[in-house]
Structure formats: C-alpha cells, structure tokens
C-alpha cells in the first residue's frame, strides 16, 4: 500500500494522487471537526478548507514517524477551527457592544447576499436578453412572460408553431450560454 508521504510526493506531479489522500482521511476529519464545531455543515467546510490548505502546502509536508499524514491534517484543521472561533468571538463581542443581535445580523447578511446575487442575475439576464436576435427575444417573451402556448406565439409572430418553438429553444440555449459565461 502506498504511504501518505508517497501520495503527497506523487501529488506534486499528479494532482489526482492527493484525491487518494482525501479518500483515506476525510471521514476521520469530518468526525473530529463535527465534534469540535458542533455543526456537521461547518465541519464539512472546515475539512474542505483543510484539504485545500494542505494541497497548497504539500511541498512543505514532513512525514510523521507513523507514516500517516493524519496528524498533519488534524493540525491544519485544528488551526482553522481555532481561527474560526476567535473570529466568531470578536464578531460577537463587537455586535454585543453595538447592541446588534447576532442572529439578526446573520439573517440580514444572508438576505443582502441573496438580493445582491439576484440583482446581478437580473442585470446579466437583461444584458443577455438584449443580445438575442429580435425574433428569438419576442418569441421567448410571448411564451414565458405572456404565458402563451406555442400556437398563440406562432400566430402573433406570423410563423408556424414549429418555428415558434425553434425560436424559443434557440433563445433559451443562447441565454444559458450567455449567463454561464458571465458566471465563470
């Protein structure tokens, strides 16, 4: 069986080898982090960040006498949890001094993030809609904004129902590509 040190060394030229290290140890790390954080979702985020940091720092890895990389990974995870707790204490203390309920801040922050994301999506969608050929844009609006069946869309556009369906399908495909390009 390949040792953890060998996997880490191999990962310097073959990143897939690091995936084997993840497969070996992520369950133990999630179990530990769940107990440390008291929240399985947060624990998964801690473990994901642990492996991300380990991957970046893999050139500095020094093998443990046991041959396992688990002590190294636990060290990274422990530091992340400690940093997270310190940040939470500072945030909580600041909110308390300002008289802001901590659960309210989380709700407001989530709502603001959602609104910003929706605003950005709406702007991206409007831009992508303007870029559509007019026949496709009109077919799409009649079908989805006005909720018309394809027969009615075709009648309004002066084309066949098949042609109306093709225009809508092409418009949707173009929008999807345009929105994917904006999100990457």
Which residue shows structure tokens 């999506």? 121
What's the structural domain count of the chain? 2
Which CATH number covers residue 44? 1.10.1740
For residues 23 and 75, membership in a common domain is answered with yes
For residues 161 and 121, membership in a common domain is answered with yes
Distances (CA, A) of 80 to 45, 63, 88, 92: 10, 21, 12, 18
The residue-averaged pLDDT of 132-149 equals 92
The count of residues in the chain is 184
For residues 80 and 112, membership in a common domain is answered with no
Higher pLDDT, 123 or 50: 50
For residues 83 and 14, membership in a common domain is answered with yes
Exposure string over 52-62, b if 16+ CB within 10 A, otherwise e: eebeeebeebe
Which tens digits make up the pLDDT trace of 13-33? 988 899 999 999 999 999 999
Window from 13-22, 58-67, 106-115, 125-134 with minimum mean pLDDT: 106-115
Which CATH number covers residue 139? 1.10.10.10
Tokens of 42: 């947060």
Collapsing DSSP to helix, strand or coil, 63 comes out as coil
pLDDT grade for 52, boundaries at 50, 70 and 90: very high
At 163 the pLDDT is 95
For residues 22 and 71, membership in a common domain is answered with yes
Please say if the pLDDT value at position 129 is more than 80.
yes
pLDDT grade for 145, boundaries at 50, 70 and 90: confident
For residues 59 and 119, membership in a common domain is answered with no
Structural domain of 71 = 4-98
Q: Which of 98, 119, 135 is the last residue of a domain?
A: 98
């Amino acid at each position: 069986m390949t040792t953890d040190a060998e996997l880490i060394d191999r990962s310097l030229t073959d990143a897939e080898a690091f995936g084997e290290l993840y497969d070996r140890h992520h369950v133990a790390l999630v179990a530990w982090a769940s107990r440390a954080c008291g929240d399985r979702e947060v624990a998964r985020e801690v473990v994901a960040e642990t492996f991300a940091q380990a991957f970046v720092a893999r050139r500095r890895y020094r093998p443990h006498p046991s041959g396992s990389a688990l002590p190294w990974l636990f060290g990274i995870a422990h530091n992340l949890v400690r940093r997270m707790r310190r940040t939470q204490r500072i945030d909580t203390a600041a909110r308390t001094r300002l008289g802001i309920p901590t659960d309210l801040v989380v709700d407001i922050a989530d709502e603001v993030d959602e609104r910003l994301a929706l605003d950005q999506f709406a702007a991206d969608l409007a831009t992508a809609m303007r870029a559509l050929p007019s026949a496709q844009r009109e077919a799409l609006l009649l079908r989805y904004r006005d909720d018309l069946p394809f027969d009615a869309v075709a009648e309004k556009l002066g084309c066949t129902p098949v042609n109306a369906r093709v225009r809508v399908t092409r418009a949707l495909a173009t929008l999807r590509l345009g929105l994917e390009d904006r999100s990457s």
